[in-house]
């Protein structure tokens, strides 16, 4: 496995749709850490999963790194972490959170990923892969990941189970609490034919109202397998969570591990 320090990320040409991802991050960077806890059992189990897969001090590339929720604890456990995100505001928050300055970052669209270095691990967590809105862009991302992997490297994807949304036949609203004086309303609409989910996040608090749309395109497990093969990768494991529990229809998430195909 490689021992190079990750330093540089560039972009391959593609049909650009990075604006939506950037707008999502720019709109939610200030509350993102309230939406997704930066510590606790979920983060601990993710670190343990990766430690078993490729132990530190492996080099790790996180796509859609956000505010560093996973990157910072991974760096604290000895991984050499480089993160890519389309949102400068997210990365600015990451560097505020990363008091030791261990995580390196780059602004970029991971659908057009092209890197100079090779990594022992590539991580795409928290449904980020599904935020690429077309099958073509998802395959392009997988090709970029193929090229970014070192010999013997592995890529890990955390996605929602498509069944979670595909079974919704009408608009649904969910309510969450951000703070004593702030609420988050998520209105969810699903287009089953397009495998598309539109979530409108409405943040209410302190006399302000903010709406942030989020679009994702889910891929069924069999489709994910085919897309991976088209990109020169193969799925070697799929679980319902970081604890390697078996997949069921009721599982809320899927965790995939892929490697390069062998000739």
Any idea what the CATH number is for the domain that residue 92 is in? Answer: 3.40.50.150
Indicate whether 123 belongs to any domain: yes
- Same domain? 188 vs 86: no
**DSSP notation for 196-241:** EEEEEEEEEETTEEEEEEEEEE---HHHHHHHHHHTTEEEEEEESS
- Mean pLDDT score across all residues of the chain: 88
261 DSSP 8-state letter: P
Q: Among 11-20, 153-162, 227-236, where is mean pLDDT lowest?
A: 11-20
- Same domain? 84 vs 125: yes
What is the reported pLDDT for 263?
A: 64
**pLDDT > 50? residue 117:** yes
Q: Is the peptide bond before 57 cis (omega within 30 degrees of 0)?
A: yes
Indicate whether 49 belongs to any domain: yes
- Same domain? 183 vs 245: no
CB environment 93-114: b (16+ within 10 A), e (fewer): bbeeebeeebbbbbebbbbbbe
What is the reported pLDDT for 2?
A: 35
- Same domain? 106 vs 151: yes
Band the pLDDT of 20: cuts 50, 70, 90: low
Indicate whether 3 belongs to any domain: no
Residue 89's SS3 state is: helix
- Same domain? 92 vs 187: no
pLDDT, mean of residues 204-214: 83
Q: Among 31-45, 176-190, 194-208, where is mean pLDDT lowest?
A: 31-45
**pLDDT > 60? residue 80:** yes
Q: Among 24-28, 195-199, 203-207, 221-225, where is mean pLDDT lowest?
A: 24-28
Indicate whether 112 belongs to any domain: yes
The pTM (predicted TM-score) of the whole model is: 0.87
- Same domain? 78 vs 144: yes
**pLDDT > 50? residue 202:** yes
Inter-helix orientation angle 221-230/135-148, to 10°: 50
- Same domain? 105 vs 183: no
- Same domain? 43 vs 83: yes
Report the distance separating Cα 62 and Cα 47, nearest Å.
Answer: 13
What is the reported pLDDT for 11?
A: 47
Residue 133's SS3 state is: coil
**pLDDT > 60? residue 144:** yes
Q: Return the closest-CA partner of residue 212 out of 30, 8, 17, 13.
A: 30
How many CA atoms lie less than 13 Å away from 123 in the CB half-sphere?
Answer: 28
Token pair for 247 = 């997949």
What is the reported pLDDT for 237?
A: 97
Q: What percent of the chain lies above the pLDDT cut of 90?
A: 70
- Angle, CA 84 vertex, CA 80 and CA 87 arms, to 5°: 140
Nearest 5°: phi and psi at 43?
-70, -40
Question: pLDDT tens digit string along 46-63?
Answer: 999 999 999 999 999 999
Band the pLDDT of 183: cuts 50, 70, 90: confident
- Same domain? 115 vs 234: yes
- Same domain? 155 vs 247: yes
**pLDDT > 70? residue 10:** no
What is the reported pLDDT for 26?
A: 74
248-252 contact pairs (CB < 8 A, 24+): 249/161, 249/163, 250/163, 251/161, 252/160, 252/161, 252/164
Report the distance separating Cα 203 and Cα 173, nearest Å.
Answer: 13
Indicate whether 64 belongs to any domain: yes
Contacts of 217 (CB under 8 A, 6+ apart): 130, 132, 133, 134, 135, 138, 194, 195, 196, 197
Indicate whether 188 belongs to any domain: yes
Indicate whether 208 belongs to any domain: yes
What is the reported pLDDT for 4?
A: 35
Indicate whether 4 belongs to any domain: no
- Same domain? 63 vs 170: no
Domain count, the chain: 2
Determine the longest span between alpha carbons in the chain, in angstroms. 60
**pLDDT > 90? residue 8:** no
DSSP H or E stretch at residue 82: strand 80-85
The residue segments making up the domain with residue 52 are 9-161+219-260
pLDDT, mean of residues 94-122: 92
What is the reported pLDDT for 180?
A: 75
Q: What is the CATH number of the domain that holds 175?
A: 2.20.25
- Same domain? 113 vs 133: yes
């Amino acid at each position: 496995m490689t021992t190079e320090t990750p330093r540089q990320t560039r972009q391959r040409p593609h049909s650009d749709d990075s604006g939506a991802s950037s707008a999502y991050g720019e709109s939610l960077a200030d509350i993102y850490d309230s939406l997704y806890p930066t510590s606790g059992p979920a983060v601990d189990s993710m670190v343990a999963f990766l430690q078993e897969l490729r132990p530190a001090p492996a080099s790790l590339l996180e796509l859609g790194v956000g505010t560093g929720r996973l990157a910072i604890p991974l760096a604290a456990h000895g991984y050499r972490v480089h993160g890519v995100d389309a949102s400068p505001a997210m990365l600015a928050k990451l560097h505020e959170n990363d008091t030791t300055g261990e995580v390196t970052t780059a602004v970029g669209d991971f659908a057009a990923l092209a890197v100079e270095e090779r990594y022992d691990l590539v991580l795409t967590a928290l449904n980020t892969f599904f935020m690429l809105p077309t099958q073509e862009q998802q395959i392009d991302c997988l090709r970029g990941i193929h090229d970014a992997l070192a010999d013997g490297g592995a890529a890990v994807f955390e996605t929602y189970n498509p069944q979670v949304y595909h079974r919704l036949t009408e608009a649904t609203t969910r309510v969450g609490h951000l703070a004593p004086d702030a609420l988050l309303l998520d209105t969810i609409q699903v287009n089953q034919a397009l495998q598309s989910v539109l979530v409108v996040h409405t943040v209410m608090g302190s006399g302000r109202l903010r709406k942030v749309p989020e679009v994702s395109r889910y891929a069924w497990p069999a489709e994910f397998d085919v897309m991976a093969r088209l990109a020169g990768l193969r799925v070697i494991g799929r679980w319902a969570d970081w604890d390697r529990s078996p997949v069921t229809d009721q599982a809320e998430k899927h965790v995939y591990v892929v490697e390069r195909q062998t000739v």
